Amino acid sequence: MRSTGDDRGREVDPALVRRAQRGDALAIDELLRILDPYVGRLCAPIALQDAADAAQESMIVIFRSIGQLREPAALFGWVRTICTREAVRVARRRTGTLAAELSDLPAPGDPQLRTDILDVLRRLSPEHRAMLVLRDLEGLDEKAVAGILDLPLGTVRSRLSRARSAFRDRWR
CA distance 110 to 123: 21
What is the predicted pLDDT for the residue at 109? Answer: 60
- Mean pLDDT of the 153-158 span: 90
- pLDDT-based confidence at 2, cuts 50/70/90? very low
Q: pLDDT tens, 103-137?
A: 444 555 666 666 777 788 888 888 898 898 888 87
CA distance 1 to 163: 22
Residue 127's SS3 state is: helix
Spell out the domain ranges in the chain: 14-96+106-171
- Do residues 129 and 91 lie in contact, with contact meaning Cβ atoms separated by under 8 Å? yes
Rg from Cα positions in the chain? 17
What is the predicted pLDDT for the residue at 31? Answer: 95
More confident residue, 91 or 103: 91
Taking phi over 0 as left and psi of -120 to 50 as alpha, with beta for the rest, 135 belongs to alpha
Mean pLDDT in the chain? 83
Q: Which DSSP string corresponds to 59-120? A: HHHHHHHGGG---GGGHHHHHHHHHHHHHHHHHHH---PPPPPP-SPPPTT-THHHHHHHHH
CA distance 163 to 169: 10
More confident residue, 92 or 9: 92
CA distance 81 to 97: 27
- Do residues 26 and 55 lie in contact, with contact meaning Cβ atoms separated by under 8 Å? no
Q: Which helix (H) or strand (E) holds 31?
A: helix 25-47
What is the predicted pLDDT for the residue at 108? Answer: 54
Q: Which CATH number fits domain 14-96+106-171: 1.10.3470, 1.20.140, 1.20.120, 1.25.40?
A: 1.20.140
Q: pLDDT tens, 28-53?
A: 999 999 999 999 999 998 988 899 99
